[in-house]
Amino acid sequence: MLNISELAEDLKRDVAMQNTPYPVNDTEYIRLVVQAVKKFFVDVNHPDSYDRTLYITDESQTLFYDYDFDIVQEEYIFILSKMGYKKMVIADLTGDGAISYTTNALSVTGAKEGYKSMQQEIDDLERERIRVFHKMMARDNEG
């Protein structure tokens, strides 16, 4: 069983030092992991195995996905979650308020400059995603 809440906390810790144009709340981190789980099943060509009813919450409000993922598959989902986070930040930057704004005392343009490396980070994660994907597929083809 995959602990979605724990993976969301890992994601939150992993990107804690990343500047964001808008605050990201715990619900958003969970949403990113849920999207990554769904994308996992699409990527491995098993969309019929994805079932929304397999999301369960225990008495402490911890969210789980009731499916047995191995460590490589969990890592793949985590990489997808990080990619989703970074893409979300870039999408937030396309808003006018994040690129240029004016106050009574200050005019700021090019606020996007501090995020130039974000696309490179996404490209690096994409290469890692492909590497892990090939590991999963090679292992699955052995059996």
Separation CA 63–CA 127 (nearest Å): 29
Separation CA 35–CA 139 (nearest Å): 24
Q: What would the pLDDT profile of 69-113 be if each residue is shown by its tens digit?
A: 999 999 999 999 999 999 998 887 766 444 445 555 555 555 555
Point out the least confidently predicted range of 24-38, 50-64, 101-115.
101-115
Exposure class string for 12-51: b at 16+ Cβ within 10 A, else e: beebeeeeebeebeeebbbbbbbebbbbbeebeeeeeeee
> Given this model, what pLDDT does residue 99 score?
47
DSSP 116: T
Instruction: Identify the residue whose tokens are 């994040």.
Output: 98
Instruction: Identify the residue whose tokens are 């501090």.
Output: 114
Position 5 pLDDT exceeds 80: yes
> Given this model, what pLDDT does residue 98 score?
46
Position 52 pLDDT exceeds 80: yes
Position 117 pLDDT exceeds 90: no
Separation CA 69–CA 75 (nearest Å): 10
Give the start-end residues of each E strand in the chain. Answer: 2-3, 55-57, 63-65, 100-102, 107-109
Separation CA 112–CA 108 (nearest Å): 10
Separation CA 79–CA 63 (nearest Å): 19
CB 55 within 8 A of CB 126: no
Read off the pTM.
0.83
